[in-house]
Structure 1
Amino acid sequence: MSIRLHAKERSCKGPMDESQRGIEGPLLQGIVLVNVAEMLSPRCAMQLSHWSRSARLAVASAGQHLDLGNGCVSGKKTCITWRQRLLEMEVQSQLLTKLLSGGSSTKDECKRVCTDAARHLRREENIVALAAPVVVVGSLRGEPQDLLTIFEISGPVPETSYLFLGDYTVSGPDPCGTLVLLLLLKARFPSRVTLLRGRHEQRQMTQVYGLHDACMRQFRSGGAEVWEAFCQCFDHMPIAAVVNEKIFCVHSGLAPEVETLEGLRHLDRHGDYGHEGPIADMLWSDPAEDVEGWGAAPKSCGYWFGEDITTAFLKANNLELMVRSKQLVVDGFAELHGGKCITVFSSSNVSFGNQAAVLHLDEDCNRTVQTFREAKQPESECFLLQGMMADRLCPETRPHTPK
C-alpha cells in the first residue's frame, strides 16, 4: 500500500505491495513512495511526528486504512460517515506515532480510544470468523516490549492480521500502555486486529492484578474514568474465533454447557462474565492429560477437561484443532491431547526464563511457531500473592461433575 508524499516529508521507505490499493496524497515536486505499513515500525514512527498535517491525513486515508470494520457508511442513517472516519483515523494515527515514539496517552486520549474500539467490539459476533493468514498471539500480561517484538518478527499491522487470545494486562510493567496500544490498533484497523476476551478482562480481576492501580497511578484523579472505559471494552470482547472454518481459538478452554459453536453464538457475552456459567468456564477451564471427561479445577473457576472432551467438541463442529493460551508454558508453546489442542503463551521471562511464542497460520492453515526471548526481570512474588487473591474471587461453588 503506497502513498505519494513530498520528499521533504519523508525519511523512511519500504516495499510497495501492488496488490493493495492506496490513494494519492499531496502531489508535490519530488514525490516518493512510502509504505503505509511502516507506520508501525518504531524507526519510522519517530519520523512521522515531523510530517505535515496533509501528509498524516494522506496516511490515514490510504486503502486499507479506510477500514470501517462492520460499520456502515454514507446515507442518512449512517453509523459513521466517511468524513468522520477520516478525521477519526487521523487522530488515531497521531496517537500511534506518539505511543510508538515512547510517549504515553492522556486520560482523554485513552477514553477516546476505548470509545472507538468498543464501537467495533460491540458489533462483532461471539465467534469471529477469520480467514488465514493470521498470527495468533497468546497472553501478553502487560508487557509492551513483547508486543513490539511480535510486530517486529511477525510483521506490522495492517500488513499482517493478528488474533489476540486475551490476558492483555495482568501484572506486567505497563498494563495501561499495552492495552491502549491494542485497543488503538483495533480502532484503527478493525478488520486486521481481533481481540478475544481473557479471564483477566473483568472488573474484579483488574482490581486484583494491577490494572486498576496502574490507572490510578498514571491518571490520578482521572484514573477511575480510564479504568471504567477499559472495562467497558472488556464487556464487549468476543469469546472465540474460528480460522478458515478449521481452527477454534479461545482464551482458555471448553465448557460443559457449550457443545456446539451454535450454542456459543447464542450466549449473551456483553457485561461482566461473573464466576459461573459457560463464558466463565471457557475463560478458565484447562485441558489436562490425566483427566477423562470433566473434573473440577480446585480453587478456581472452570474445569479440567480430558482429551475425549476436546475430540468430541472438534468432531461435533467439524473442526481440526483448538488453540488456547491461558497457562504459562516454558517453551512458549505446547501440544496437548494428541496434538488436537495447542497452548500459545506470548509473554517472555514471566517465570523460569520462559520463552514466548506466536503461532503463524498461512493461507492453508499450515502452522509455524515463532519463539523469542526478551531481557526483562521476572515477575515478583507479588504475582503469586495476586494469584491466591484471584482464587478467592472465584471460589469453587459447584460439584465435581457438571450437570
Structure 2
Amino acid sequence: MSDLDRQIEQLKRCEPLKESEVKALCLKAMEILVEESNVQRVDAPVTICGDIHGQFYDMKELFKVGGDCPKTNYLFLGDFVDRGFYSVETFLLLLALKIRSIDRKQEVPHDGAMCDLLWSDPEEAVDGWGMSPRGAGYLFGGSVVTTFNHDNNIDYICRAHQLVMEGYKWMFNHQIVTVWSAPNYCYRCGNVAAILELDENLKREFRVFQAAPQEARGTPAKKPAPDYFL
C-alpha cells in the first residue's frame, strides 16, 4: 500500500495524520492548483456536489451514494471545510483523494467579478438585480438568468452555496439549479442532501441522501456552528 492510500484509509477512519504528512499533502495540492487555469474544463460523465461544510461522516455517505474516487469523476462546487464537526479531516481527505477545485492563486477580493460570482444568489421575488443580505454580491432574478444563458448558449446553470431543504432546487423554468450536499446542515436543519450525476450524454439524475446515522459518527470534535450561520 502506498503512503497516499494509507493516508486515505486513515482519514476515512477519522484518524489524524502526522504534521509532516499534512504539510506534504498541502504542498502537493499547491503543485496541482498552480498548474490549473482559473476556468477549469470538466468532462462528462461527472458528479456535481454542493456544499459539504466539513460534515465528514456525511461526506462519507455522499461517496457511498455517488461512488468512490477515482472511479467517479467529482466536481465539488465549494464550501468544503467550514462549520462542521470534522472540518480539518474533510479538507485533508479531499486533498488526499486529489479532488481538484478552482485555482486559488489569490484570495477572493472584497468586490469585483470574482466576489460577485461567489456571493450572488438567485431570488424569485427579484426582478433584475437587488441588494444581497450577505453584504457582498447581489440578488438576481429570472430575467438576468434568461439573458445570461441565451447570450452564452447555456442550457442551465448549476450552482451551490444556499441551503435547500430538498437537496436540490430548480428556479426560473429550469434555467438554474442549486445543489446542496450537506444533509441536516449544522446538525439541526433537518434537510436532505443531493448530488447531480451527468452521464456522457449530459443526461442528469439527482441522487438524494440522508445524514449519516448517529451511531456511525463517533464523538464530535467541536461544538456545532452558531445559529447565525443558518
Instruction: Measure, in 1, the Cα distance between the counterparts of 2:153 and 2:134.
Output: 33
**CA displacement at 1:154 relative to structure 2:** 1.1
Q: Where does structure 2 lack aligned partners over 5 or more consecutive residues?
A: none
1:115 counterpart = 2:21: no
Greater Cα radius of gyration, structure 1 or 2: 1
| Equivalent position amino acid for 1:341 in 2 | I
**CA displacement at 1:136 relative to structure 2:** 0.5
| Equivalent position amino acid for 2:168 in 1 | F
Q: TM-score with structure 1 length normalisation?
A: 0.52
Instruction: Identify which of 63, 79, 82 aligns with 1:151.
Output: 63
1:314 counterpart = 2:220: no
Instruction: Identify which of 210, 214, 226 aligns with 1:383.
Output: 226
Calculate the aligned-residue CA RMSD, in Å.
2.0
Q: 1:381 to 1:149 in 2, by over 3 A?
A: closer
**CA displacement at 1:94 relative to structure 2:** 2.2
Partner residue in 2 for 1:340: 175
| Equivalent position amino acid for 1:178 in 2 | T
Instruction: Measure, in 2, the Cα distance between the counterparts of 1:162 and 1:382.
Output: 27
Instruction: Measure, in 2, the Cα distance between the counterparts of 1:120 and 1:308.
Output: 38
**CA displacement at 1:384 relative to structure 2:** 2.3
**CA displacement at 1:380 relative to structure 2:** 7.4
Q: 1:382 to 1:156 in 2, by over 3 A?
A: closer
Partner residue in 2 for 1:357: 194
Q: Where does structure 1 lack aligned partners over 5 or more consecutive residues?
A: 1-55, 57-89, 187-192, 197-235, 238-269, 388-403
Quote the sequence identity (%). 33
1:282 counterpart = 2:194: no
Q: Which whole-Å deviations, capped at 9, do the CAs of 1:242-268 have from their partners, x for residues lacking one?
A: xxxxxxxxxxxxxxxxxxxxxxxxxxx
Partner residue in 2 for 1:195: 101
Q: 1:98 to 1:297 in 2, by over 3 A?
A: same
Instruction: Identify which of 196, 205, 222 aligns with 1:368.
Output: 205
Partner residue in 1 for 2:47: 135
1:166 counterpart = 2:78: yes
Instruction: Measure, in 1, the Cα distance between the counterparts of 2:229 and 2:23.
Output: 27
**Between Structure 1 and Structure 2, how many residues are aligned?**
221
Partner residue in 2 for 1:19: none
Which protein has greater RCO, CA pairs closer than 8 Å, 6+ apart? 2
| Equivalent position amino acid for 1:384 in 2 | D
**Any idea what SS the aligned residue of 2:75 has?**
strand
Q: TM-score with structure 2 length normalisation?
A: 0.89
Instruction: Identify which of 257, 262, 271 aligns with 2:106.
Output: 271
**Any idea what SS the aligned residue of 1:92 has?**
helix
Map of 1:2-401 to 2, 5 A cutoff? 56=1, 90-186=2-98, 193-196=99-102, 236-237=103-104, 270-350=105-185, 351-374=188-211, 375=213, 382-385=225-228
Q: 1:149 to 1:319 in 2, by over 3 A?
A: same
Q: 1:122 to 1:294 in 2, by over 3 A?
A: same
Q: 1:272 to 1:367 in 2, by over 3 A?
A: same
Q: Which whole-Å deviations, capped at 9, do the CAs of 1:137-196 have from their partners, x for residues lacking one?
A: 10001011111111111111111100001001121001000000001112xxxxxx3324
In proportion to residue count, which structure has more helix? 1
